[in-house]
Structure 1
Amino acid sequence: MREPESRETQYQSNMTKIRHTNYVRNSRAVVVLWAFFTIVFLILNIVVFIQPQWIGDSGESAVAGFFGLYRRCEEMAIEDDFVCTGDFFDFSTILNSYFKACAVLVGVSCLLFIVCVGCFFLFLVLNTATVLQTCAWFQLLSGILMLISCILYPAGWDDAGVQVVCGLQADKFDLGVCDIRWGFILAIVLVFDAFILSILAFVLAAKQANLLPEVYKDSDKEPIKY
Structure 2
Amino acid sequence: MNQETNWNAEVTKVYHTNYVRNSRAIAAVWAIFSMCYVILNVVAFVQPYWFGDTNESPGVGYFGLYEFCERTMTGAEYTCRGDFLDFSTILNNYFRGASFLVGISALLFIFSCICMLMFLFLRPNIVFNICGSLQVVAGVCIGVGCIIYPRGFDDVDVRRICGQNAVGYNMAHCEIKWGYILAIVLIFDAFILSILAFVLSTRQAKSLQNQGEKKVLRDSLTADWTGFQ
Same fold (TM over 0.5): yes
| Partner AA of 1:10 in structure 2 | N
The Cα of 1:8 is off from its aligned counterpart by 2.2
| Rounded Cα–Cα distance in structure 1 between residues aligned with 2:2 and 2:119 | 40
Query: How far apart are 1:67 and its partner, in Å?
Result: 0.3
The number of aligned residues is: 215
**How far has the Cα of 1:92 moved from its partner?**
1.0
- The CA deviation at 1:76 is 2.6
How many Å separate the matches in 2 of 1:80 and 1:11?
Answer: 79
Residue 199 of structure 2 is matched in structure 1 by 203
**Residue 54 (structure 1) aligned with residue 43 (structure 2):** no
Matched, 1:187 2:183: yes
Q: Structure 1 counterpart of 2:59, which letter?
A: V
State the Cα RMSD in Å.
Answer: 1.3
Could you tell me how far apart the structure 1 residues matched to 2:11 and 2:203 are? 20
Matching residue's letter, 2:138: S
Identity of aligned residues (%): 48
CA positional deviation for 1:18: 0.8
Deviations 1:111-148 (A, max 9, x none): 10111110011111111000100000100000001110
More off after superposition, 73-82 vs 171-180: 73-82
Q: Does 1:38 align with 2:34?
A: yes
**How far does residue 80 in structure 1 lie from its aligned partner after superposition?**
2.0
Rounded Cα–Cα distance in structure 2 between residues aligned with 1:85 and 1:76: 14
Structure showing the higher helix proportion among its residues = 2
Q: Which residue of 1 aligns with 2:99?
A: 103
Letter in structure 2 aligned against 1:172:
G
For structure 1, list consecutive stretches of 5 or more residues without a partner in the other structure: 220-226
In structure 2, the partner of 1:117 is 113
Match of 1:16 in 2: 12
What TM-score results when the alignment is normalised by the length of structure 1? 0.92
Distance in 1 between residues matched to 2:160 and 2:95, nearest whole Å: 16
SS in 2 for 1:126: coil
Which digits, 9 at most, give the CA deviation of each residue in 1:149-192, with x for residues without a partner? Answer: 11100100010011111010111100100000001111110000
Distance 1:82 1:117 in 2: 36
